[in-house]
Amino acid sequence: MEQTLIYQYVLFIGIAIGTASLIRKHIFFLTRVSSYSMVPTLQPKDLLFTLRIHDFQTIRRGDILVFYSDELQDTLVKRVIGLPEDVVSIDDDGAVSVNQTELDEPYVDYPSRSDGRFEVPPNNYLFLGDNRAASHDSRSFADPFIHEGKIRGKVLFSIFPFHLL
């Protein structure tokens, strides 16, 4: 009887660990913010609930995504500004336009004084941090575009401290 009980506990724990691993690999994961690049929206050390993306057609301009940068060899959290085949322009005052339409960006407190023009290739995205003056993002990458295969997920909310995005 005691061996059966031990076996049931071991089996339950094994199934629970296996299920948690599958959920983490295919459905959602947690991400910790490691820099000031998304201030004021996100703060360093915020813990984020991130939904894995399986359909890239669901990505919208303004979404906050987690992606891997080959250049930095790091996982980053930034806001999508340029979608595939967009033309993104940043003027001398930091105003961002996409396809010749200026974006309303209430989440940006400190626009940067850097300018540039980016033609986003198919299956690629352009990312900027909300704290433009202090963000290391697409503007400063040798290759400013992130391929969809490097996108890990979409941030839905901050778990700690809790707030919706």
pLDDT (tens digit per residue) in 57-76: 999 999 999 999 999 999 99
Euclidean distance between CA atoms 8 and 84, whole angstroms: 51
Q: Rounded CA gap, 125 and 81, in Å?
A: 8
Domain containing 62 — which CATH number?
2.10.109.10
Task: Label residue 148 by pLDDT band (50, 70, 90).
Answer: very high
Taking the C-alpha atoms of residue 14 and residue 128, their distance in angstroms, rounded to an integer, is 41
Q: Is residue 128 part of a domain?
A: yes
Q: Is pLDDT above 90 for 118?
A: yes
- Provide the β-strand partners of residue 24: none
Provide the pLDDT for residue 1.
Answer: 64
For residue 23, is it within any domain?
no
Average pLDDT value for the chain: 91
Residues with a known catalytic role: 37, 78
Predicted confidence at residue 25, as pLDDT, reads 74
The residue among 1 and 75 whose pLDDT is bigger is: 75
Q: Are 107 and 79 in contact (CB under 8 A)?
A: yes
Q: Is the peptide bond before 106 cis (omega within 30 degrees of 0)?
A: no
Range of the domain at 59: 28-159
Task: Tell me, yes or no, whether 94 lies in a domain.
Answer: yes
> Does a structural domain hold residue 1?
no
- DSSP bridge partners of 35: none
CA angle 114–118–120, rounded 5-degree value: 145
- Residue 112 inside a domain? The answer is yes
Please name the helix (run of DSSP H) or strand (run of DSSP E) that holds residue 5, with its range, or none. helix 2-26
Residue 11 lies in a domain: no
Going edge to edge, which strands form the sheet with 87-90?
Answer: 101-102, 96-98, 87-90, 116-119
The pLDDT, as a whole number, for residue 24 is 72
Residue 56 pLDDT exceeds 80: yes
Residue 61 lies in a domain: yes
User: Which range has the worst mean pLDDT, 7-16, 56-65, 68-77, 91-100?
Assistant: 7-16
| Residue 41, amino acid | T
What percent of the chain stands above pLDDT 70? Answer: 99
For residue 80, being part of any structural domain is answered with yes
- Judged by average pLDDT, the poorest of 6-15, 42-51, 69-78, 89-98 is 6-15
Domain tally for the chain?
1
Across the range 99-122, mean pLDDT stands at: 91
d(C-alpha 97, C-alpha 106), whole Å: 14
pLDDT of 114 higher than 90? no
